[in-house]
Amino acid sequence: MHPGWVDTPGLATSMTGFYNKLKSSMRNSDQDADTIVWAACSREAEAIPSGSFYWVSEFG
């Protein structure tokens, strides 16, 4: 499960160049949580095989 890139202090300090280039398109922590909740609760997610890759509320 990958919630997408989230704007966090840890990312800002550990990957400065990456963060500075992409910070305007990063998700906030509330948006981040929606993928986790989707994977845990959605009827659609129930049908996806275990071990599959989840990306930002989508199956890929």
Question: CA-CA distance, 48 to 43, in Å (whole number)?
Answer: 9
b/e code 40-58 from CB counts within 10 Å (16+ = b) = eeeeebeeeeeeeebebbe
- The Cα–Cα gap between 19 and 5 comes to 9
Query: For residue 48, what is the DSSP state?
Result: S
pLDDT < 70 regions, the chain: 1, 56-60
Q: Please report the pLDDT score of residue 56 as a whole number.
A: 62
Is the pTM higher than 0.75? The answer reads no
Residues making up the chain, counted from first to last: 60
Residue 17 is predicted with a pLDDT of 97
Per-residue model confidence (pLDDT) at position 60: 47
> Which pLDDT score is estimated for 58?
56
pLDDT score recorded for residue 46 = 85
pLDDT in tens, 32-45: 787 778 888 888 88
